[in-house]
């Protein structure tokens, strides 16, 4: 039997990146106690008033078909939010509702690129980026992100990789897995590059409300000179601790969303009205849970730094935002994949190997900050003990 080319393009881009996480889940199911610092699951439930809003909407019969763009109330709430943030009118016609940021990324890239096109994306990158780029037939062009630049993507590293096939610059700010946050100056420089080479800018901003401290968030969408070439995607999964509700959106030029509408209608024909009502309430005000999560994640990142940095030649990169921190374990002589597997087997601690996020993190690990302080402290103790044994054996 014959299959579509997309199945071949994505064959090596699925669950293999999460092998250590799957191993840890299997061990836990078999009765072993594993400290799992793999995925970024919010450490609190969604705000109760959002759950009540969804329930009230269902009670009111808001469970019929929607439409391909999104419920009017949600589009109006998103318009008000982004108009206030950017300081210029952004109309409801510039938004499209999707079931989560992942679906939004898939749809947007399907509307922007095809076979023979290239997408420039920072390496390391979120584990599904290569898949959503490859699915429509485009090629991901990794741009190395360097620790000495705080893992913030640099114009000097992008420009040599631009070719006549380059179509999109995919940004992630705040960044997963490193927690880097692009500054306004960064975005201004990147915008000049995008205009020079006529690139679209696609910005994944799902961690916008999880910046540590008081540093401001800036989107390329907020810069007027980039408005006509920028598409931003986000959701309530992280900011409102609601990943299972699968409620996200894309915002960009009106012409783009009009062109993308048939793609969205073909894919899924809208999200659920009762979830749209909940999301409209969520985006109409600052999150009531994000600040607490950000403060806890920042504290846990400092705990990991204070416990591990400098121990057995481990280097901890302290994040500025998000749910993760990354640590450099290259001095152990092991790859991130080998270190993570052995750590799980010998110490019952599960972390993500850096290689799951691209070759720039070879010999690194990603640790989730979403577990309680005491679990993270114990995981760090075991990780340090394992690293000491590895260094002694070198």
C-beta of residue 317 within 8 angstroms of C-beta of residue 389: no
DSSP 77: H
Q: Is the pLDDT of residue 394 over 70?
A: no
pLDDT-derived band at 56, boundaries 50, 70, 90:
very high
pLDDT value, residue 107: 97
Instruction: Give 141 or 7, the one with higher predicted confidence.
Output: 141
Whether the CB-CB separation of 218 and 212 falls below 8 Å is answered with no
| Distance between CA atoms of residues 348 and 182, nearest Å | 35
- State the pLDDT at residue 215: 83
Q: How far apart are CA 140 and CA 180, in angstroms?
A: 21
pLDDT tens string 116-149: 999 999 999 999 999 999 999 999 999 999 999 9
Mean pLDDT of 167-172: 98
**Per-residue pLDDT averaged across 252-269, rounded?**
95
Q: What is the pLDDT averaged over residues 199-214?
A: 97
pLDDT of residue 136: 96
Query: Where do the H-state alpha helices sit in the chain?
Result: 5-9, 19-29, 48-59, 72-86, 101-112, 129-134, 155-158, 184-196, 254-267, 273-283, 290-308, 336-347, 373-393
Q: How many helices (H) and strands (E) does the chain have?
A: 13, 12
What pLDDT score does 393 carry? 62
Average pLDDT over all residues of the chain: 95
Confidence of residue 269 (pLDDT cuts 50, 70, 90): confident
Look at phi and psi of residue 137 and say left if phi exceeds 0, alpha if psi is from -120 to 50, else beta. left
Spell out the residues 6+ positions from residue 80 whose beta carbon is closer than 8 angstroms to its own: 284
Other C-beta atoms within 10 Å of 59: how many?
10
Q: What's the token pair of residue 375? A: 């679990």
CB 276 within 8 A of CB 68: no
* Ordered structural domains, the chain, with CATH: 5-44+289-393 (3.90.1150.10), 48-283 (3.40.640.10)
| Contact indicator for 99, 268 with CB cutoff of 8 Å | yes
- Is 390 or 238 the better-scoring residue by pLDDT? 238
Check if the beta carbon of residue 121 is closer than 8 Å to that of residue 129.
yes
**pLDDT greater than 80 at residue 79:** yes
The two tokens of residue 392 are 């002694």
pLDDT at 284: 97
Non-local CB neighbours of 242 within 8 Å, separated by 6+ positions: 42, 46, 50, 236, 278, 282
Region of poorest pLDDT, from 17-21, 27-31, 368-372: 17-21
Starting at the edge strand that comes first in sequence, how are the strands of the sheet with 349-353 ordered?
Answer: 35-37, 349-353, 364-368, 324-328, 315-317
User: In this structure, how many other beta carbons lie within 10 angstroms of the beta carbon of residue 221?
Assistant: 23
DSSP 68: S
CA-based nearest residue to 76, from 269, 261, 277: 277
Would you state the pLDDT for residue 391?
A: 77
Find where tokens 């044994």 sit: 389
Cα(385)–Cα(11) distance, integer angstroms: 37
**Rounded to two decimals, what is the model's pTM?**
0.95
Q: Give the confidence band of 17 by pLDDT, cuts at 50, 70, 90.
A: confident
Q: What is the mean predicted confidence (pLDDT) over 195-207?
A: 98
Sorting pLDDT into bands at 50, 70 and 90, what band is 60?
very high
CA 246/CA 275 separation, integer angstroms: 9
Give residue-wise pLDDT tens across range 337-382: 999 999 999 999 999 999 999 999 999 999 999 999 999 999 999 9
Distance CA 25, CA 13 (A): 20
* Local confidence band at 15 (pLDDT 50, 70, 90 cut-offs): confident
**In terms of DSSP bridges, do strands 139-144 and 118-123 run parallel, antiparallel, or are they unpaired?**
parallel
């Amino acid at each position: 039997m014959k299959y579509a080319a997309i199945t071949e393009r994505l064959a090596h881009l699925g669950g293999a990146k999460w092998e250590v996480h799957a191993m840890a889940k299997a061990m836990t199911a078999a009765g072993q106690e594993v400290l799992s610092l793999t995925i970024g699951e919010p450490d609190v439930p969604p705000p109760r008033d959002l759950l009540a809003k969804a329930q009230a909407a269902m009670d009111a019969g808001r469970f019929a078909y929607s439409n391909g763009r999104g419920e009017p109330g949600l589009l109006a709430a998103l318009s008000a939010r982004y108009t206030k943030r950017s300081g210029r009118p952004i109309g409801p016609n510039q938004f499209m509702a999707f079931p989560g940021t992942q679906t939004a990324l898939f749809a947007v890239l399907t509307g922007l690129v095809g076979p023979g096109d290239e997408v420039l994306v920072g390496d390391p990158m979120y584990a599904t980026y290569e898949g959503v780029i490859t699915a429509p037939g485009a090629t991901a062009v990794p741009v190395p992100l360097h620790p000495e630049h705080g893992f913030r993507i640099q114009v000097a590293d992008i420009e040599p990789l631009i070719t006549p096939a380059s179509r999109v610059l995919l940004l992630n700010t705040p960044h997963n897995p490193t927690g880097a946050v692009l500054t306004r100056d960064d975005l201004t420089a990147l915008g000049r590059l995008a205009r020079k080479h006529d690139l679209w800018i696609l910005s994944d901003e799902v961690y916008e409300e999880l910046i540590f401290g008081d540093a401001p968030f800036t989107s390329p969408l907020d810069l007027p000179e980039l408005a006509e070439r920028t598409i931003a995607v986000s959701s309530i999964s992280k900011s409102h601790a609601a990943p299972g509700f699968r409620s996200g959106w894309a915002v960009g030029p009106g012409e783009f969303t009009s062109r993308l509408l048939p793609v969205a209608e073909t894919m899924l024909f809208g999200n659920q009205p009762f979830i749209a009502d909940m999301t409209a309430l969520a985006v109409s005000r600052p999150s009531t849970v994000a600040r607490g999560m950000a403060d806890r994640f920042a504290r846990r990142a400092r705990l990991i730094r204070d416990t591990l940095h400098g121990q057995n030649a481990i280097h901890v990169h302290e994040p500025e935002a998000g749910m993760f921190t990354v640590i450099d374990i290259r001095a152990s002589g092991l790859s991130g994949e080998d270190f993570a597997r052995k750590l799980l087997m010998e110490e019952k601690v599960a972390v993500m190997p850096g290689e799951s996020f691209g070759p720039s993190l070879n010999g690194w690990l990603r640790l989730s900050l979403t577990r309680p302080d005491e679990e993270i402290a114990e995981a760090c103790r075991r990780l340090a003990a394992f690293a000491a044994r590895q260094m002694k054996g070198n």
